[in-house]
Amino acid sequence: MTTGWTREQIAARTAQDIPNGSYVNLGIGIPELVAKFVPEGREFIYHTENGLLGMGPPPSENERDLDLMNAGKKYVTAVPGAAYFHHADSFSMIRGGHLDVCVLGTMQVAANGDIANWSTGEPGAIPAVGGAMDLVQGVKQIFVVTQHITKTGEPKLVERCTYPLTGVGVVSRVYTDLAVIDITPEGFRLIELAPGVSFDDVKNKTGAQVLPPDIPPTDGA
Amino acid sequence: MTTGWTREQIAARTAQDIPNGSYVNLGIGIPELVAKFVPEGREFIYHTENGLLGMGPPPSENERDLDLMNAGKKYVTAVPGAAYFHHADSFSMIRGGHLDVCVLGTMQVAANGDIANWSTGEPGAIPAVGGAMDLVQGVKQIFVVTQHITKTGEPKLVERCTYPLTGVGVVSRVYTDLAVIDITPEGFRLIELAPGVSFDDVKNKTGAQVLPPDIPPTDGA
Amino acid sequence: MINKVCPSVAQAVADIPDGATVMLGGFGASGSPIELIHALIDHGAKNLTVINNNTGNGEVGLAALIGNGQVRKMICSFPRSSQSKVFPEYYKAGKIELDLVPQGTLAERIRAAGAGIPAFYTPTTVGTVLAEGKEQREFDGRTFVLERWLKAEYALVKCDTADPLGNLTYNKTARNFSPLMCMAATTTIVQVGRLVDRGGIDPEHVVTPGIFVNRVIHVPEPVHEDTLIAEGRCYP
Amino acid sequence: MINKVCPSVAQAVADIPDGATVMLGGFGASGSPIELIHALIDHGAKNLTVINNNTGNGEVGLAALIGNGQVRKMICSFPRSSQSKVFPEYYKAGKIELDLVPQGTLAERIRAAGAGIPAFYTPTTVGTVLAEGKEQREFDGRTFVLERWLKAEYALVKCDTADPLGNLTYNKTARNFSPLMCMAATTTIVQVGRLVDRGGIDPEHVVTPGIFVNRVIHVPEPVHEDTLIAEGRCYP
C-alpha cells in the first residue's frame, strides 16, 4: 500500500540535501516549507528575486512592513546580515550562477531534466512567467518538489513535457510524495523511497522509465 | 598681431557655453580650469568616472582623504548632495547619455568631428586609453579645449586626424587660444575670435578650411 | 542652485502625451507610485504603453489606469495575481496588448537602456516558446538569446528619501525596478515621502544618483496600494 | 552559523595557483588591496593574468607583483602614470603582455561576467584601432562593437566595513571596480578595515551582498599605496 511523504515531509527531505551555507531561492507552495526544516547545524540564506538576500520568516501583525515582501508578494522579514538591492542586481545573482539551490514546484518534469511550470499553454489563458525562466537557467542546482501525480492521476514525471517549457535540461533532482529521483544522463534514477512506497509504486506512477538506484535502496516498507 | 586667450580665458569662455544645471565631466589640463569659471547664477555638477557625482575643489592638506580622488588621481572633495557609485554605474552615466557636457583636451581634432587624444601611435609607446573612448561616445556634447597649434607650430585642427582616433564625428565645438569654432556638417565654422585675433590668423593656423560665421563676428582687434 | 522639486503630482505628469511609453516602478504593491499614477489618470493621457513587473491589483493604481482605458499595451513579466481583475478582463476582451518578458530579462533590458547597451545575450528563455523568433547564438558552448534595451519616455517612481538634486533612497523591497527605470527613461518623475536638504543623504547611501532624476514631488504621506485594496477603494 | 572570516591574508591567498587570472580592486592607489597583494607576492604564484584599471605605482602593491616577475599579462585601461616605472620597464623588455581595454568597457565586461551576460554591444571604440578585428553591428542606425564577459578565478578586494557573511561597504572613490570584481570571480577574497557583527551593516547600505564574497580577512589598519610611495617604500 502506498503511503509516502506529506508536503512537510517532502520539504524536510529536500532540506537534507542542501549544504550548510547555501544561498537558496524557494518557489511558492511546497518549496516555501523547506525553510521550516533546516537541518540542525546548518544555515541557509534565502534570496527573494524582488531584491532581498537574507529573507526571514513571516512577520507578526505588528512588525509588518508593507514594503517588505517576497516574490510571492507575501510579507516577510529580513534577518540580521540581510541586504536589499535592485532587480538587475538580484537577477545578476540568479543569472550569474551565484545562487546554490533553487527549489521549485512544477506541473511537469521530464526524464531529460526539462521543466514546465509556468503555463498550461491553453488558448485564452493569460501567460505569466515571472522569474521562473531566469531561475532555472541561472541557479547552480534546480530541485523540483511536487506531488508525484496530478489530482486527476496523471503523472507529473514524464518522458517529455507536453506543457510549454520553462527550461531545457535544467533539473538536478526531484522530490515527490513517493520518492527522491535524480535526473541522470540515462534519465530518471531512483535515489530513495518514501516510507511504505515500493519501487513498483513509483514506476507505475511515473510517465517514463525509472532506473534503479546505483546503490540498492533500503525498502521503504 | 596675434594675442588671443590664455589657458584660463579659454576655460572661462568654454564655461559660458555650459547651461545651468549641466552634468559635466572635465578632462585633465585646461578642461579642469573650467570649474573655476562657472558663470554667475549657474551651477554645474561634476562627474568623475572613478565613481563620484558632485566632485568639489581640491582639499586642503588636513581635509585630504586618500580614498577620495578624481580620474586624474588627484585628491578632491565631495560637495553636499554628492553620490558615490561603482565603475559600471559610473560608465552607465557616460555611455547611457546622461552627462550633458564633456570638456576634453586633444592632440588633434578634425573638421568632421573626429578626435585623437589618446595615443601618438608611435611604435614602442605604451598605449593608455582610460575612459576617453567611452566619454566621446556617450556624453551628449563633446567640447574640445586646446591650443590652436602645437609647440612646434603644427595645426591641431586638421582636415583628417593622423594620430589614432579616440572617436569618430563626436566633437561639437572647439575652444582654442585663438577662437571658438563649431564642427558643422560643412566642417569647421568660426563662431568667435579671441581679442586681437583676426579671421586670417585663424585660417592660417588651421589645417583645414574654416568657414566664416553664419553671423559675421565682431573683429577681435 | 539646481532644484528639481516640482510643486504637485498633477504638474509633474502634465506633459505626458498620448501614446507615450511609461515605466512604473514597483513590484506588486511594493514601491508602486500610487499618487503619480492617480495623477496620470486625472491627466488622462491615452494609448499608453506601460512597463511594470505586473498589471495592478484591485481598482487602484495601475489597475485603475488600465480600467480607465488609458493603456494600449502592457510590457510585464507577471500579469496574474489573486487580486488582479481589471487586466484579465481587458485582455480577454482584446482591449489591451501583452508583451510578456521574463522578470530578469525585463530588469536587464531596462538597465541596458540606462547604461547605453543596445543589446545583450542571456541564457533565459533558451528552448522555450518565449525565445521563438529571437536571434540565438553560442558562446563558450552554451546557447544564448539576444535581447534589446527597453527605453521609455517617462518613468514614474516612488522613493523613500530624496534631496532637491534628485538623489534617492528606497525602503526595503520597494526598491525593486525603480533605480533601473530612473536610468532608462528620458524624463524620470519621482514621488518622495521624505524630502531632505542637500547633504541630507550620505553620499555612500545614495541608491539613485540625481543625474537620473528630472522631477521630484513631495508626497509626505503616500497611500499604499495594499491599504487601498484592503479598504476596497477604487480610483477615481 | 556561516562565517567567512579567514585568519590571515597569507591563508586567504594560499590556494591561488600559477597561471590564475586575478582581478585586483582599486583605481590607482584608491582601493588597492595592498596587504592581499603583498601576501600574493609572498605566496609566489607565477604566470598570473592580472585585471586592474592600471599597472601599479612605485615599487609596492601591483607594481611590486609585476616587479617580482609573477605577472604574465595585464588587462587594464591605463598602464601609464607618473609614478609607474615597473610596468613600462617590463613591457618594453617584452616581459609582460598588455591587453588594453577602455575603462567603461572593462567595467561592463566584468559586470557582465558577474551577471551571467556572455556578451553585449557597446558604442565605445567604434571607428578606432581598438575595434579592429571585433564584430560590429548596427542597432537603430548606429554601429556598436560586440564585447565578451571578463571572468577571473580570483578577486582580491579592499573594503571599508564587512560582516562575517561578507556583506561589504567601501570608502568614497575606493569603491570603483571592487563591487564588480566581487561578482565576476569564482573566489572573492576581501580585506576589511572594520569587521562588524551580523547586523552591523544596515541592509539598505550594503554595496556588495555577501553572496559575492568567499573570504573576509580583517586588516585593521591597512597601509595606503600613496603613503608607501610617499615614504619611498618597496616590497618585499
Read off the pLDDT of residues C119-147 as tens digits, 9 standing for 90 and up. Answer: 999 999 999 999 999 999 999 999 999 99
Determine phi and psi for B10, rounding to 5 degrees. -60, -45
Nearest CB among C117, C139, C205 relative to D122 is that of: C117
C30 to A84: CB separation less than 8 angstroms, yes or no = no
* pLDDT at residue number C228: 95
C136: chain D residues, CB-CB within 8 Å: none
Residue with cell 511594470: C52
Higher pLDDT, C199 or B120: C199
Contact C57, C65 (CB under 8 A): no
Which is catalytic among the residues B32, B40, B49, B122?
B49
Q: Where does residue A162 rank: exposed (0-12), middle (13-18), buried (19+ CB within 10 A)?
A: middle
In a domain, B145, yes or no: yes
Contact B156, B108 (CB under 8 A): yes
* ipTM of model: 0.97
Structural domain of residue A139, as residue ranges? 7-33+97-210
Give the chain B residue whose CA is nearest to the CA of C168: B83
For chain B, which residues score pLDDT lower than 50? 221
D164: chain A residues, CB-CB within 8 Å: 81
In a domain, A203, yes or no: yes
Residue-wise pLDDT for A106-119, tens only, equals 999 999 999 999 99
User: Is chain B touching chain A, with at least 3 CB–CB pairs below 8 Å?
Assistant: no
C117 to B95: CB separation less than 8 angstroms, yes or no = yes
**Grid cell digits, residue C116:** 547605453
In a domain, B172, yes or no: yes
* pLDDT at residue number B220: 52
Mean pLDDT of chain C: 97
C2: chain B residues, CB-CB within 8 Å: 20-21, 43, 45
Chains that touch A (3 or more CB pairs under 8 A): C, D
Nearest Cα residue to D140 out of B132, C150, B139: C150
User: Is chain B touching chain C, with at least 3 CB–CB pairs below 8 Å?
Assistant: yes
Distance from CA of C121 to the nearest CA of B (A): 18
Residue C80: pLDDT band (50, 70, 90) is confident
SS3 D121: strand
D105: chain B residues, CB-CB within 8 Å: 133-134
* pLDDT at residue number B123: 83
Calpha distance A70→A59 (Å, rounded): 12
Calpha distance C47→D65 (Å, rounded): 61
Q: Please, where are the H alpha helices in A21-161? A: 30-33, 87-95, 132-138
% of chain A exceeding 70 in pLDDT:
96
SS3 A148: coil
Which residues are paired to B180 by β-bridges?
B175, B192
Nearest Cα residue to A58 out of A41, A33, A81, A39: A33
In a domain, A83, yes or no: no
* pLDDT at residue number B216: 62
Distance from CA of C68 to the nearest CA of D (A): 33
Q: Please, where are the H alpha helices in chain D? A: 9-13, 34-43, 61-67, 86-92, 103-115, 178-184, 225-230
Residue-wise pLDDT for D134-187, tens only, equals 999 999 999 999 999 999 999 999 999 999 999 999 999 999 999 999 999 999
The CATH architecture of the domain made up of D18-117+150-230 is 3-Layer(aba) Sandwich (3.40)
| B49 in catalytic set | yes
Residue-wise pLDDT for C4-59, tens only, equals 999 999 999 999 999 999 999 999 999 999 999 999 999 999 999 999 999 999 99
Nearest CB among D117, D163, D183 relative to A81 is that of: D163
Residue A220: pLDDT band (50, 70, 90) is low
B45 to C115: CB separation less than 8 angstroms, yes or no = no
CA angle B36, B42, B43 (to 5 degrees): 70
Nearest Cα residue to C158 out of C222, C227, C209, C107: C222
D210 to A85: CB separation less than 8 angstroms, yes or no = no
D183 to A92: CB separation less than 8 angstroms, yes or no = yes
Determine phi and psi for D101, rounding to 5 degrees. -130, 130
* pLDDT at residue number A221: 46
Residue C185: pLDDT band (50, 70, 90) is very high
* pLDDT at residue number A43: 97
Quote the number of domains for chain A: 1
pLDDT of residue A21 exceeding 90: yes
Determine phi and psi for D15, rounding to 5 degrees. -95, 5
Calpha distance C29→C60 (Å, rounded): 10
Nearest CB among A66, A91, A165 relative to C103 is that of: A91
Nearest CB among D30, D124, D179 relative to B86 is that of: D179
**Grid cell digits, residue C128:** 522555450
Q: What per-residue string of b and e applies to D151-188 under the rule 16 or more CB within 10 Å gives b?
A: bbbbbbbbbbbbbbbbbbbbbbbbbbbbbbbbbbbebb
Residues with Cβ within 8 Å of B174's Cβ and at least 6 positions away in sequence, in order, are B109, B143, B144, B145, B146, B157, B180, B181, B182, B183, B188
D205: chain C residues, CB-CB within 8 Å: 204-205
D210: chain A residues, CB-CB within 8 Å: 45, 53, 81, 83
> Which amino acid is present at B26?
L
CATH classification at residue B172:
3.40.1080.10
* pLDDT at residue number C205: 98
In a domain, A138, yes or no: yes
For chain D, which residues score pLDDT lower than 70? none
Distance from CA of D215 to the nearest CA of B (A): 21
Nearest Cα residue to D22 out of D79, D84, D65, D83: D65
Nearest Cα residue to B156 out of B30, B17, B26: B30
Cis check for the bond before A19: say yes or no (omega within 30 of 0).
Answer: no
Contact B13, B180 (CB under 8 A): yes
pTM > 0.90: yes or no: yes
Calpha distance D168→D160 (Å, rounded): 7
In a domain, A70, yes or no: no
Distance from CA of B97 to the nearest CA of D (A): 11
**Grid cell digits, residue D212:** 559575492
* pLDDT at residue number B83: 98
Calpha distance B65→B55 (Å, rounded): 13
Distance from CA of B134 to the nearest CA of C (A): 10
Please state, in angstroms and as integers, the Cα–Cα distance from residue C5 to each residue in B80, C11, C189, C197, D152, following that order: 17, 11, 10, 11, 44
A86 to C180: CB separation less than 8 angstroms, yes or no = yes
